[in-house]
């Protein structure tokens, strides 16, 4: 091992009498954390506060914090000892990059303020040539008010029971670490199993997000969202006060990326979606900068100076303060980026995409799929004008022909885009539905943006790791819903905010993998509050499709499930409710049987047939399923899908060796019980992906199987 040392954002502080304060003077209310482990370095983090205050105003002087790193659990063999200043400018958070460490080694650290202290442990990555098994967990979507962070408690319990060789080395967080709203009407407790319930923390306080610092009238608006850096800091302080996530962050290094809710729901570049949904032209550059600053303060990451694949320059860059004002967006350029100066400055304040090497067999590639993506798949004015059902808009269950043609832009129809897009053709005495093609002169849509896409391609091509794991925020695979009826003949995509809304670039990237013979790509995804697994084809629209990768989509830690969203919405469209849920309690089933799973696996006709037949006397659930999925009835809209569970919370766990990837999606019981109770495992779906053969993915399920698996 080289000489251990560390760097931080602050100069060495002057001695301060406060460092001798007695125990009980200071506190670390958000715990400790580590992040971005590499073979010889890791980032350590904490936030200091006065024990009697819990929060510190901007006028409070710096707190002197001492960080020590040890090689033994008893914390006697010291390798780093440094003083830091926890300043108001960074909300009294401190981060330190510890260098000169040994690869694949567990280190134990301590932060001290006065006589108060807090401990944690972390682990470095193996050397790039180490032929070792790598064990990672992945998580996303942890809405504080939707449930307790019991998935982390379950993850710790599971890991404690594993043999040493199988223990988790690091946790990959795919975003939605916080949610930017509070007092959302969809979060109001209702009278059934799938809506919010009042939750209580361990200390007896209500599990709610208190009013934002910027709020002048907390009762005025039904939806209140963060607007200032202090608002976003308030969210991190609230979310990270939970003891279960504190325990996880103190146990493992986290590798984090953001999704949308760290800034604002369904965002793209610095655009938001709360005050001007009809035009989608809500420039929120000041919020974008505030959100980026708070994320960088509270998430332990190494950006500037981070290593990448040899021959591929790292483009990651620390947050730098910038002055912007909110301005309406101008037209995007040829790469679909809005060059309006405030947007460019807000997005450019930080760059977070980066890669990590774990031994000989794993390259972990983390992408940012919000900062550079183009406008929403279908403009808000179109989804409003065509009168799609309320809960289908503006980005859910959209017609595939509409999404695909708009995304292709000027390249549609072999570079001859149509003036309008036909969803329903004209019939005698019945006009069809024709949508103006507002993007016939636009470039194709993008999720990654030009510069990040080139970095992704170079990283995938030049890495010599056996497996390339892609930390991908939003679902990559196609999730198609067949026509809902004779008056609605178009196929639909489940979520156009995911890669299904940007199929042109998805096809480009997957074709690149095939043409460059880049094999053994496994995509780890989140965002959708459900569990899916399957293969990724080079072109989902081609008559002959070739699988080039596998995808594992993990459920949210707490956030209400995808199924619960559709169950709630189906009350407004009772004719479609049987396609979402059926009450099978009379046949020994569940009150809310997830027929939505069957819809995704076998299509509209099968889901409708099951709802019809299971309601008949003397027809069992198994018999109704056999009829519904029988020959001549079943049409599989998503043949690449190997597993579907739309009603889940939990986490993912993946082991990587030279020969295979073995993964588990662990679904816990819904985490809304007593906060001290272990949630328990509802089911575990295990997947094996053999080297060089994505189509060879196999699935095994233990525990309560998700419908329609019985």
Check: CB of residue 256 under 8 Å from CB of residue 139.
no
Q: Euclidean distance between the first and final Cα of the chain, in Å?
A: 54
Which range has the worst mean pLDDT, 38-52, 129-143, 264-278, 562-576?
264-278
Mean pLDDT of 301-323: 97
Tokens of 336: 């679909």
d(C-alpha 449, C-alpha 538), whole Å: 20
* Pick from 3, 39, 248, 5: nearest CA to 124: 39
Indicate the average pLDDT of the chain: 91
Check: CB of residue 59 under 8 Å from CB of residue 53.
no
Mean pLDDT of 653-663: 98
Chain segment 87-136, per-residue pLDDT in tens: 999 999 999 999 999 999 999 999 999 999 999 999 999 999 999 999 99
Name residues whose C-beta falls within 8 Å of residue 218's C-beta, 6 or more positions apart in sequence. Answer: 183, 211, 224
273 pLDDT band, cuts 50/70/90, is confident
Between 335 and 1, name the one with better pLDDT.
335
Q: Structure pTM?
A: 0.95
Q: Given a cut of 90, is residue 220 above it in pLDDT?
A: no
Is residue 48 assigned to a domain?
Answer: no
The predicted pLDDT at position 53 comes to: 63
Share of the chain above pLDDT 70, in %: 90
The predicted pLDDT at position 54 comes to: 57
Whole-number Cα distances in Å, 435 to 169, 398, 426: 51, 13, 13
Domain encompassing residue 596: 574-647
Whole-number Cα distances in Å, 522 to 196, 462, 471, 598, 655: 34, 16, 9, 25, 12
Q: Given a cut of 90, is residue 571 above it in pLDDT?
A: no
Chain segment 441-486, per-residue pLDDT in tens: 999 999 999 999 999 999 999 999 999 999 999 999 999 998 877 7
Name residues whose C-beta falls within 8 Å of residue 141's C-beta, 6 or more positions apart in sequence. Answer: 175, 176, 259, 526, 527, 529, 555, 556, 557, 558, 559
Is residue 35 assigned to a domain?
Answer: no
Tokens of 502: 């940007």
Q: Given a cut of 80, is residue 256 above it in pLDDT?
A: yes
Q: Given a cut of 60, is residue 632 above it in pLDDT?
A: no
Is residue 587 assigned to a domain?
Answer: yes
Between 429 and 223, name the one with better pLDDT.
429
191 pLDDT band, cuts 50/70/90, is very low
Is residue 594 assigned to a domain?
Answer: yes
d(C-alpha 142, C-alpha 32), whole Å: 18
HEC secondary structure over 178-196? CCCEECCHHHCCCCCCCCC
Name residues whose C-beta falls within 8 Å of residue 235's C-beta, 6 or more positions apart in sequence. Answer: 178, 179, 180, 209, 226, 294
Is residue 579 assigned to a domain?
Answer: yes
424 pLDDT band, cuts 50/70/90, is confident
Share of the chain above pLDDT 90, in %: 78
Tokens of 61: 């002087």
Q: What is the CA radius of gyration of the chain?
A: 25
β-pairing, 78-86 vs 42-47, is unpaired
Between 68 and 61, name the one with better pLDDT.
68
Is residue 639 assigned to a domain?
Answer: yes
d(C-alpha 79, C-alpha 70), whole Å: 6
d(C-alpha 275, C-alpha 453), whole Å: 31
Check: CB of residue 690 under 8 Å from CB of residue 696.
yes
Chain segment 19-46, per-residue pLDDT in tens: 578 899 999 999 999 999 999 999 999 9
The predicted pLDDT at position 255 comes to: 98
Is residue 619 assigned to a domain?
Answer: yes
The predicted pLDDT at position 429 comes to: 82
Chain segment 135-188, per-residue pLDDT in tens: 999 999 999 999 999 999 999 999 999 999 999 999 999 999 999 998 665 443
d(C-alpha 143, C-alpha 314), whole Å: 32
**DSSP 8-state code for residue 155:** H
Chain segment 523-548, per-residue pLDDT in tens: 999 999 999 999 999 999 999 999 99
Q: Given a cut of 90, is residue 275 above it in pLDDT?
A: no
Whole-number Cα distances in Å, 105 to 68, 121, 488, 530, 656: 16, 11, 58, 34, 18
583 pLDDT band, cuts 50/70/90, is very high
Q: Given a cut of 50, is residue 190 above it in pLDDT?
A: no
The per-residue DSSP string of 11-29 comes to: PPPPP-GGGGPPTTSEE-T
- Tell me the CB-side half-sphere exposure of residue 425, using CA atoms within 13 A: 2
Is residue 631 assigned to a domain?
Answer: yes
Mean pLDDT of 263-290: 80
HEC secondary structure over 426-469? CECCECCEEEECCCCCCCCCCCCCHHHHHHHHHHHHHCCCCEEE
Q: Given a cut of 80, is residue 316 above it in pLDDT?
A: yes
Number of domains making up the chain: 1
β-pairing, 116-123 vs 106-113, is antiparallel
d(C-alpha 280, C-alpha 382), whole Å: 11
The predicted pLDDT at position 57 comes to: 63
Q: Given a cut of 60, is residue 277 above it in pLDDT?
A: no
């Amino acid at each position: 091992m080289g000489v251990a040392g560390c760097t931080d954002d602050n100069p060495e502080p002057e001695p301060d009498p406060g460092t001798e304060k007695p125990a009980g003077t200071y506190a670390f209310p958000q715990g400790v954390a580590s992040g971005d482990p590499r073979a010889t370095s890791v980032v350590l983090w904490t936030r200091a506060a006065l024990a009697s205050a819990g929060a510190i105003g901007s006028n409070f002087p710096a707190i002197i914090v001492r960080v020590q790193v040890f090689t033994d659990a008893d914390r006697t063999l010291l390798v780093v000892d440094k003083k830091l200043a926890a300043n108001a400018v960074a909300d009294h958070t401190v981060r330190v990059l510890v260098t000169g460490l040994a690869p694949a080694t567990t280190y134990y650290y301590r932060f001290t303020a006065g006589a108060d202290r807090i401990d944690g442990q972390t682990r470095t990555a193996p050397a790039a040539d180490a032929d070792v098994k790598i064990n990672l967990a992945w998580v996303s979507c942890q809405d504080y008010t939707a449930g307790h962070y019991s998935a982390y408690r379950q993850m710790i319990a599971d890991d404690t029971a594993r043999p040493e060789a199988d223990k988790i080395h690091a946790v990959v967080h795919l975003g939605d670490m916080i949610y930017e709203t509070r007092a959302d009407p969809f979060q109001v407790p209702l009278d059934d199993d799938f809506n919010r319930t009042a939750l209580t923390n361990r200390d007896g306080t209500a599990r709610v997000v208190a009013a934002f610092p910027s709020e002048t009238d907390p009762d005025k608006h039904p939806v209140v969202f963060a607007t200032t850096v202090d608002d976003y800091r308030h969210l991190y302080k609230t979310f990270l006060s939970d003891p279960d996530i504190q325990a996880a962050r103190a146990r493992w290094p986290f590798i984090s990326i953001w999704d949308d809710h760290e800034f604002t729901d369904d965002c793209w570049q610095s655009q938001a979606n709360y005050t001007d949904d009809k035009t989608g032209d809500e420039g929120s550059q000041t919020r974008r900068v505030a959100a980026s600053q708070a994320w960088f303060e509270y998430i332990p990451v190494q950006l500037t100076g981070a290593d990448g694949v040899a021959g591929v320059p790292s483009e990651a860059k620390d947050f730098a303060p910038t002055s912007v004002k909110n301005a309406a967006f101008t037209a995007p350029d040829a790469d679909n980026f809005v060059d309006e100066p405030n947007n460019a400055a807000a997005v450019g304040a930080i760059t977070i995409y980066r890669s990590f090497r774990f031994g000989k067999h794993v390259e972990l590639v983390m992408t940012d799929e919000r900062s550079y993506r183009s406008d929403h798949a279908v403009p808000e004015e179109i989804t409003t004008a065509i009168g799609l059902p309320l809960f289908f808009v503006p980005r859910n269950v959209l017609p595939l022909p509409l999404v695909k043609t708009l995304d292709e832009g000027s390249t549609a129809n072999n570079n001859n885009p149509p003036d309008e897009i036909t969803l329903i053709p004209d019939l005698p005495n019945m006009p069809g539905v024709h949508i103006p093609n507002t993007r016939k002169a636009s470039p194709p849509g993008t999720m990654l943006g030009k510069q990040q896409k080139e970095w992704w391609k170079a990283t995938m091509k030049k890495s010599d790791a056996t497996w390339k794991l892609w930390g991908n925020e939003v679902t990559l695979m196609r999730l198609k819903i067949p026509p809902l009826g004779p008056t609605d003949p178009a196929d639909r995509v489940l979520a156009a905010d995911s890669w299904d809304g940007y199929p042109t670039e998805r096809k480009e990237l997957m074709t690149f993998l095939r043409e460059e013979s880049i094999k053994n790509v496994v995509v780890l995804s989140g965002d959708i509050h459900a569990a899916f697994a399957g293969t990724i084809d080079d072109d989902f629209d081609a008559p002959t499709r070739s699988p080039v990768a596998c995808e594992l989509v993990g459920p949210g830690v707490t956030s209400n499930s995808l199924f619960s969203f559709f169950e709630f919405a189906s009350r407004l469209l009772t004719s479609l409710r049987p396609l979402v849920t059926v009450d099978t309690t009379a046949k020994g089933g569940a009150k809310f049987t997830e027929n939505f799973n069957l819809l995704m696996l076998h299509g509209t006709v099968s889901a409708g047939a099951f709802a019809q037949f299971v309601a008949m006397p003397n027809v069992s659930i198994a018999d109704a399923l056999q009829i519904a999925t029988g020959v001549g009835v079943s049409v599989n809209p998503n043949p690449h899908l190997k597993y579907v569970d739309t009603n889940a919370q939990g986490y993912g766990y993946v082991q990587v060796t030279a020969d295979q990837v073995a993964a588990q999606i662990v679904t816990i019981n819904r985490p809304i019980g007593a906060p001290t109770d272990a949630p328990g495992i509802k089911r575990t779906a295990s997947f094996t992906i053999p080297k060089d053969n994505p189509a060879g993915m196999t699935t095994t399920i233990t525990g309560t199987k998700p419908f329609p698996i019985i």
